[in-house]
Amino acid sequence: MTGDGLFPFTDEHEMIRQAARDFAQKEIAPIAAEFDESGEFPSATVRKMGEMGLMGIEVPEEYGGAGMDTLAYVLALEEICKADASHGTIMSVNNSLFCFGILKFGTEMQKQKYLRGVASGQHVGAYSLTEPMSGSDAGTMRSRAVRDGDEYILNGRKSWVTSGPVAEYIVVFTMTAPEKKHRGITAFIIEAGKPGFSVGTKSSKMNIRASATSEILFEDYRVPAENRLGEEGDGFKIAMTVLDAGRIGIASQALGIAEAAYEASLEYARQREAFGQKIGEFQGISFQLADMKTRIEAARLLVYHAALAKERSKKTGGRFTLEASMAKLFASETAMFVAHAAVQIHGGMGYSKELPIERYFRDAKITEIYEGTSEIQRLVISRMETGLR
Ligand code: CAA
């Protein structure tokens, strides 16, 4: 890899990268196609990732995590996603969408109670913002929570919840004061399996098929007020802050997918012969490789830059929205560009299930959609730049 000289990598970073790479290549890559086909949740490997500290990389050791920094997180996630984007999705949701939010906004009780299990991979965490009628326009949700003494009563339907069918704990965003619009949204930590909670329709998906996705339903579900994350009305800002962190994770995922597709293409171009020469000797192929490599390295710079911006924000309290959105936008479009070229370079073999190339192509697509589409990233970046709305 390149870019090392530009970033403050330590021996610890190299260690986690190497450990994640070894594990991903030995234990995840060989089962990725099978789990993609079956759509089964890879519980055994996810548990092992937890034991390695990969499920709560930035969570302090006192709460069951690895106590490392954001750079360590993106390096490890990139390696996991090079082997399998589905494992990467599960890892990124646990780390960024669940643990980060509780670490940043949770009370001591919430940290003690909910972080340890998820950060150590014994439990799966999830994040639930989207609803059937509220996707990109996240402030318009219809689910409701009404205060009742020391509890809130939740009703509503949330959709596209990554790890929804298997998560024990979910950070859920819902309206407590609809008249206040986005300022009426409140976040809660929900325990699945309690009365009033159920898993709805499981989503059948084009890709990241081994990461379980579903609707979740609340019917008079009672959540104690002590499980409220932040204050009433803080939910939208919490959701957005957490998504800023999540977007860096998805950018790392896109980088990992792009690297896997590129490395396979490079190898194929060096070996495969047509018309009496290696196909990599044709300018049509070699120039594609040059573009793939260049975009990947540019994406890498943005991803690591965003990781450093997030790390800095832990001290300054400032936002890293711009860096996260730029990294996600560019890395996800790079993944799609590279995976598309990889299928083309491999020809029929790129289209075949015999090789992982078609899976990289399918997996790349989601990175342009979830945790904010490319259009939403452009909106975020341009609003921050112009100051206009
Ligand atoms: N950090 C902190 N605060 C933020 C913020 C951020 N990144 N972005 C906005 N805010 C604040 C604003 O400052 C504003 O505050 P005030 O109320 O004090 O004025 C408030 O939030 C509202 O901001 P906007 O007016 O900009 O809100 P908007 O309605 O125009 O929406 C948006 C902005 C960027 C479009 C936002 O709705 C968005 O990101 N949409 C995409 C949602 C998304 O990514 N969904 C994916 C869900 S997760 C998923 O994919 C599933 C999974 O499990 C992986």
Tens digit of each residue's pLDDT (9 = 90 or more) over 205-218 = 999 999 999 999 99
Q: How deeply is 31 buried, as exposed, middle or buried, from its count of CB atoms within 10 A (0-12, 13-18, 19+)? A: middle
Please, are residues 119 and 54 in contact by the beta-carbon 8 Å criterion?
no
| Residue 154: half-sphere exposure toward Cβ, Cα within 13 Å | 33
pLDDT digits (tens, 9 = 90+) for 241-266: 999 999 999 999 999 999 999 999 99
Query: Cα dist. 335→183, 234, 239 in Å?
Result: 35, 34, 25
Judged against a pLDDT cut of 90, whether residue 389 lies above it is answered with no
The DSSP symbol for 272 reads -
Q: Which amino acid is residue 256, in one-letter code?
A: G
Give the CA dihedral 222, 225, 226, 228, nearest 10 degrees: 90
Tell me the C-alpha distance between 56 and 59, whole Å: 5
Judged against a pLDDT cut of 80, whether residue 231 lies above it is answered with yes
357-367 and 29-38 helices cross at what angle (nearest 10)?
70
CA of 173 to the centre of ligand 1 (A): 12
Tokens 């930590």 belong to 189
Tell me the C-alpha distance between 352 and 88, whole Å: 23
Is there an atom of ligand 1 within 6 Å of 48 CB? Answer: no
Mean pLDDT over 171-182 rounds to 98
Is there an atom of ligand 1 within 6 Å of 238 CB? Answer: no
Q: How deeply is 364 buried, as exposed, middle or buried, from its count of CB atoms within 10 A (0-12, 13-18, 19+)? A: buried
Which member of 226, 333, 371, 385 is catalytic? 371
- pTM for the structure as a whole: 0.98
Dig out the tokens for 52 from the structure. Answer: 């390695």
What pLDDT, on a 0 to 100 scale, did the predictor assign at position 289? 98
| Residue 359: half-sphere exposure toward Cβ, Cα within 13 Å | 24
Question: Which atom of ligand 1 lies closest to the CA of 369?
Answer: 50
Active site residue 371: yes
Tell me the C-alpha distance between 98 and 341, whole Å: 34
Tokens 């560019």 belong to 330
pLDDT digits (tens, 9 = 90+) for 8-53: 999 999 999 999 999 999 999 999 999 999 999 999 999 999 999 9
| Residue 33: half-sphere exposure toward Cβ, Cα within 13 Å | 8
Question: Which atom of ligand 1 lies closest to the CA of 236?
Answer: 21
Percent of the chain past pLDDT 70, that is, above it, reads: 99
Please, are residues 90 and 123 in contact by the beta-carbon 8 Å criterion?
no
CA of 240 to the centre of ligand 1 (A): 5
pLDDT digits (tens, 9 = 90+) for 127-158: 999 999 999 999 999 999 999 999 999 999 99
Judged against a pLDDT cut of 70, whether residue 283 lies above it is answered with yes
The DSSP symbol for 161 reads E
Tokens 């999705």 belong to 89
What pLDDT, on a 0 to 100 scale, did the predictor assign at position 3? 54
Q: Which amino acid is residue 33, in one-letter code?
A: A
Measured CA angle at 169 (ends 165, 173), to 5 deg: 95
Q: Over the Cα atoms of the chain, what is R_g?
A: 21
* Lowest-pLDDT range of 91-95, 137-141, 195-199, 348-352: 137-141
Is there an atom of ligand 1 within 6 Å of 70 CB? Answer: no
3-state secondary structure 247-284: HHHHHHHHHHHHHHHHHHHHHHHHHCEECCEEHHHCHH
pLDDT digits (tens, 9 = 90+) for 319-373: 999 999 999 999 999 999 999 999 999 999 999 999 999 999 999 999 999 999 9
